[in-house]
Amino acid sequence: MATNAAGRRRGARMSAVPVGLLRGDGVGPEISDAALMVMAAAGADIEWVELAAGEDAFRRTGSAVPDDTAESLRTLGVALKAPYTTPLTGYTSPSWAMREAVDAYVNVRSVQYYPHRGSRYPGLDLTLVRDQTEDLSRSVSQRSADGDVGIGLKIISRRASERVSRFAMQWAQDHGHDRVTVGHIATGQRATDGLFLESAMDVARDFPDLTVDEEILDGLSTHLIQDPSSYRILLTESVYGGIMCGIMAGLAGTVGVMPGAFIGPGGAVFEAGHGSAPKYAGTGRVNPTGMILSGAMLLDHIGQRQAGDRVRAAVASAVSEGDMLTRDLGGTATTAEFATRCSALASS
């Protein structure tokens, strides 16, 4: 089922692009509405195709990601996804199922400086690219018979390492950056991290215009906290990347401003960098910026870069004004009020 929510600007010549919409659980529907409002005001020419997933889909079909949703993701090739709740029992992560549906091998997260109460780093403009097919998070683990020993098998391959490295370096070039930093612990994990680092540096030969350097993770973390302004693209394995996402959220002052995506040969799904926060559902307290900026990344991806730029400019202006900030940014505005202000700025 398709719903045209394009909100076209006067004189627009673009053809509406069909894009999947996954409204999420918890706070997902609220921040989805906010993102769609701002994207429409910016002139996004999109035909939204709503896809079923999460709690409601599980109750109706017995699957949190029904087969027709997975197939639609592959057919459409692009979607905007709000966060989904993963219960302790009942079904596994809907997000993982969606990643498998599009064979997503890379996860992207981004933060930049916005002047608000919790932000202390002018010049912050940082994107993390991490593999999400290998490492400890997707490999074999077990407990000993007596339960006193846990064993995890870390797997790193040259193929996956080169693939994610090439993506990161191409992303850097496409977005006008000239530096990629590989985060690792190759001094201690020589067989695994050593192979990841070696693979990245081999790929770097194909990108002579880029500076590709490497740092051991403890030093990298220290330098990021001291001054992140010189870093642009971080390239890591899966587990290290998850930790770095938390550091990046801290640098930005809140996870609420972090957009992201998971991307593979079967499609690209753009999503906010935080969870579903079910306890805040319906309260209007959640910052929709991450979801709105994920929409801007999506617009870039489908060739509507001008609309994406208007979305980013509107968010930056709304935060700089300081009159309609959500609680995590130091204000009292609701989710809808912040989105309404961004929409007004995006359409002006």
- Per-residue model confidence as pLDDT tens digits over 126-176: 999 999 999 997 768 899 999 999 999 999 999 999 999 999 999 999 999
Q: Is residue 156 part of a domain?
A: yes
Specify the CATH number for the domain of residue 28: 3.40.718.10
Q: Tokens representing 260?
A: 């992201």
Distance CA 107, CA 139 (A): 17
Domain shared by 178 and 57, yes or no: no
pLDDT, mean over the chain: 94
Residue 117: pLDDT band with limits 50, 70, 90: confident
Among the candidates 234, 252, 270, a domain finishes at: 252
Domain shared by 246 and 261, yes or no: no
Count up the domains in the chain and report the number.
2
Q: At what angle do helices 289-301 and 305-321 cross, to 10 degrees?
A: 160
Domain shared by 127 and 204, yes or no: yes
Q: Tell me what pLDDT residue 137 has.
A: 76
Q: Which residue type, as a one-letter code, is found at position 80?
A: L
Which of 119 and 182 is assigned the larger pLDDT? 182
Domain shared by 263 and 232, yes or no: no
Q: Is residue 131 part of a domain?
A: yes
Q: What stretch of H or E contains 263?
A: strand 259-264
Q: Is residue 309 part of a domain?
A: yes
Q: Tell me what pLDDT residue 89 has.
A: 83
Domain shared by 134 and 231, yes or no: yes
Quick one: 101 exposed, middle or buried, by C-beta within 10 A (0-12, 13-18, 19+)? buried
The label of the residue with tokens 């690219």 reads: 129
Q: Among 82, 87, 80, 44, which Cα is nearest to 64's?
A: 87
Q: How far apart are the first and last CA of the chain?
A: 31
Sorted by sequence, the CB contacts under 8 Å of residue 308 that are 6+ apart come out as 42, 295, 296, 297, 298, 299, 300
Residues 293-341 have pLDDT tens digits of: 999 999 999 999 999 999 999 999 999 999 999 999 999 999 999 999 9
Q: What is the mean pLDDT of residues 267-286?
A: 95
Q: Is residue 115 part of a domain?
A: no
Domain shared by 261 and 246, yes or no: no
Domain shared by 296 and 239, yes or no: no
Among the candidates 195, 225, 252, a domain finishes at: 252
Confidence check: pLDDT of 106 > 60: yes
- How many DSSP H helices and E strands does the chain contain? 11, 13
Confidence check: pLDDT of 1 > 60: no
The answer to whether the beta carbons of residues 98 and 257 sit under 8 Å apart is no
The answer to whether the beta carbons of residues 337 and 33 sit under 8 Å apart is no
Q: Tell me what pLDDT residue 118 has.
A: 86
Among the candidates 252, 284, 299, a domain finishes at: 252
Domain shared by 191 and 306, yes or no: no
Residues 188-206 have pLDDT tens digits of: 999 999 999 999 999 999 9
Give the CA radius of gyration of the chain: 20
Confidence check: pLDDT of 114 > 60: yes
Domain shared by 210 and 260, yes or no: no
Q: Among 130, 18, 34, which Cα is nearest to 82's?
A: 34
Residues 205-227 have pLDDT tens digits of: 999 999 999 999 999 999 999 99
Domain shared by 131 and 89, yes or no: no
Confidence check: pLDDT of 277 > 70: yes
Residue 13: pLDDT band with limits 50, 70, 90: very low
Could you tell me what percent of the chain has a pLDDT over 90?
91
Using alpha carbons, list the distances in angstroms from residue 221 to 6, 44, 224, 228.
41, 37, 5, 9
Domain shared by 146 and 246, yes or no: yes
The label of the residue with tokens 């208007």 reads: 310
Domain shared by 281 and 241, yes or no: no
Confidence check: pLDDT of 8 > 50: no
Confidence check: pLDDT of 244 > 60: yes
The answer to whether the beta carbons of residues 333 and 325 sit under 8 Å apart is yes
Q: Is residue 326 part of a domain?
A: yes
Q: Tell me what pLDDT residue 5 has.
A: 39
Q: Is residue 194 part of a domain?
A: yes
For the entire predicted model, the pTM comes to 0.92
Distance CA 59, CA 17 (A): 31
Residue 145 is part of which domain span?
120-252
Q: Tell me what pLDDT residue 139 has.
A: 65
Largest CA distance in the chain: 70
